[in-house]
Amino acid sequence: MIKTDIAIVGGGITGLWLHSLLKSRGYQCLLFEKYKLGSGQTLASQGMIHGGLKYNLDGIAGTASKTISSMPAVWRACLSGDSEMDLSNVGCIAWQYHLFSDGRLGNKLSAFLGSHALSVGTRMLSAAELPPPFSSDQFKGVVYEIPDLILDTQSLIESLAAKDPNNLIEAKVKPVPHDGAGINCLILEDGTKVEAQYFVYAAGIGNEELIAKSNLKMATQRRGLHQVLLKGDLPVLNGHAVSLQSKDKPRFTVTSYKERSNTTWYLGGELAETGIKRESRAQIEFAKHELKQFLPSINIDSCEFTTLEIERAEPKERSRLRPDRPTCYCEGNVIACWPIKLTLVPLLMEEVLEKIMSNPSGIASSDTTKLRKAQVGNYPWNGSL
């Protein structure tokens, strides 16, 4: 039997961030990860910490963009070490990135981006400032610089894991429900029972099974993505490709990972959302067509391509829409949470801490030296390209 103040299930960004905050507030806290730390959605994500501009491509600032607009500043404080969550050793793939079009943008979006220039520093690049691949004569669009960040999510997971590695346990856990609200305990595969004041489910897609086995009343949904990867002699390119038809998402989103002479482009956005209906080969052909339309000067013929299918886990929304806010659902001694986006994790933490902090730390810590410690995972495409 193990006793702890708080037992967290899931070692993605949510679980690891919460674990670190609770430790610094004096709680005895154990985290259980069934595979490798970050190996769910976190390491598969594009790491974009954004202020919601991509949700306004129809020129209208909706609820999602209002919730998210303050987040890049919160993250910048963490990355510069000026926040309770010190992420000063986390790498960034980019400190700003581009929004680029295939042709001229509509008046509505241009006016909207113009207003952003005043408030948050988005700016349109002049012809003389255009970097490759936009500097080619074949590129016919406009390019804006957006002051948002792209995180190296592997170094993010490494940094969070290093804060208290001895209390990160590799184990798949199952809940043991009781008749009232909440659960009795968690149980590890070897039969060890884990008792706690609070059990926090931060298991991404795994929350679905945990919730069902705990008899909680929360409904969840999954939304799929079919991402595309290409590797070759490519320039570094990070940003959103938008066209006149773009509504609340870019035609595609690209992030770049450089290694020696090759660069890998990771493509998401609308391409990945609609791509769930296409099998891998058709999805690659679709991506090639999109790339040629936006970036005709780039030779992708000798690149290696592959695709990655992955699902995002969320609370259930009407018509499977994208939820606007992070969610923290409490029933008895169980708290289930979903950040919805990496970007929104700091906001989610405020809600989870508010629930937990009403109960002071109190349970003596147990000896966990015999349990296997969880290791940090890799980018899911490492080795596949």
Ligand X SMILES: Cc1cc2nc3c(=O)[nH]c(=O)nc-3n(C[C@H](O)[C@H](O)[C@H](O)COP(=O)(O)OP(=O)(O)OC[C@H]3O[C@@H](n4cnc5c(N)ncnc54)[C@H](O)[C@@H]3O)c2cc1C
Q: Considering the rule CB under 6 A, would residue 147 count as an interface residue with ligand X?
A: no
Give the separation between CA 101 and CA 243, rounded to whole angstroms: 5
Q: Which two tokens stand for residue 110?
A: 């241009």
Site for ligand X in 249-288 (CB under 6 A): 268
Question: Is-contact 10 202, C-beta < 8 A?
Answer: yes
Q: Considering the rule CB under 6 A, would residue 342 count as an interface residue with ligand X?
A: yes
Give the H/E segment covering residue 346: helix 345-356
Residues 6 or more apart whose CB falls under 8 angstroms from that of 94 comprise 149, 150, 238, 255
Least separation in angstroms between residue 128's CB and ligand X is 30
Of 4, 6, 7, 11, which one interacts with ligand X (CB under 6 A)?
A: 11
Cβ nearer to ligand X, comparing 124 with 353: 353
Cβ nearer to ligand X, comparing 150 with 291: 150
Going by C-alpha positions, the residue among 244, 238, 213 that lies closest to residue 140 is 244
Least separation in angstroms between residue 302's CB and ligand X is 26
Of 5, 6, 8, 12, which one interacts with ligand X (CB under 6 A)?
A: 12
Site for ligand X in 169-228 (CB under 6 A): 172-173, 202-204, 206, 210, 225, 227
Name the residue with the smallest CB distance to ligand X.
206
Q: Considering the rule CB under 6 A, would residue 347 count as an interface residue with ligand X?
A: no
| Candidate segments 6-14, 140-148, 214-222, 317-325, binder of ligand X by CB under 6 A | 6-14
Cβ nearer to ligand X, comparing 264 with 343: 343
Of 141, 339, 346, 352, which one interacts with ligand X (CB under 6 A)?
A: 339
Give the separation between CA 380 and CA 311, rounded to whole angstroms: 13
- Other CB atoms within 10 A of residue 129 CB: 12
Give the E-state strand segments of the chain in sequence order: 2-9, 29-33, 48-49, 92-94, 97-101, 123-124, 143-146, 149-151, 168-170, 173-177, 183-188, 193-201, 220-232, 239-242, 252-259, 262-268, 304-315, 327-331, 334-338
Q: Considering the rule CB under 6 A, would residue 310 count as an interface residue with ligand X?
A: yes
Residue 234, SS3? coil
Least separation in angstroms between residue 129's CB and ligand X is 25
Going by C-alpha positions, the residue among 284, 259, 224, 264 that lies closest to residue 41 is 224
Give the separation between CA 53 and CA 14, rounded to whole angstroms: 23
Of 7, 48, 113, 156, which one interacts with ligand X (CB under 6 A)?
A: 48
Cβ nearer to ligand X, comparing 11 with 232: 11
Give the separation between CA 344 and CA 358, rounded to whole angstroms: 23
Question: Is-contact 60 44, C-beta < 8 A?
Answer: no
Least separation in angstroms between residue 214's CB and ligand X is 11
Q: Considering the rule CB under 6 A, would residue 45 count as an interface residue with ligand X?
A: yes
Cβ nearer to ligand X, comparing 44 with 234: 44
Q: Considering the rule CB under 6 A, would residue 13 count as an interface residue with ligand X?
A: yes
Least separation in angstroms between residue 337's CB and ligand X is 7
Least separation in angstroms between residue 345's CB and ligand X is 7
Residues 6 or more apart whose CB falls under 8 angstroms from that of 38 comprise 11, 12, 13, 16, 153, 154, 156, 157, 376, 377
Q: Which DSSP string do the residues of 91-105 spell out, in sequence order? A: -EEESSEEEEESSPP
Q: Considering the rule CB under 6 A, would residue 329 count as an interface residue with ligand X?
A: no
| Candidate segments 30-38, 111-119, 190-198, 277-285, binder of ligand X by CB under 6 A | 30-38
Question: Is-contact 113 105, C-beta < 8 A?
Answer: yes
Of 20, 39, 214, 220, which one interacts with ligand X (CB under 6 A)?
A: 39
DSSP β-bridge partners for residue 254: 239, 267
Give the separation between CA 129 and CA 186, rounded to whole angstroms: 57
Q: Considering the rule CB under 6 A, would residue 35 count as an interface residue with ligand X?
A: yes
Of 20, 40, 142, 252, which one interacts with ligand X (CB under 6 A)?
A: 40
Least separation in angstroms between residue 137's CB and ligand X is 31
Provide the binding-site residues for ligand X, judged by CB under 6 A: 9-15, 32-35, 39-42, 44-48, 172-173, 202-204, 206, 210, 225, 227, 268, 310, 312, 339-343
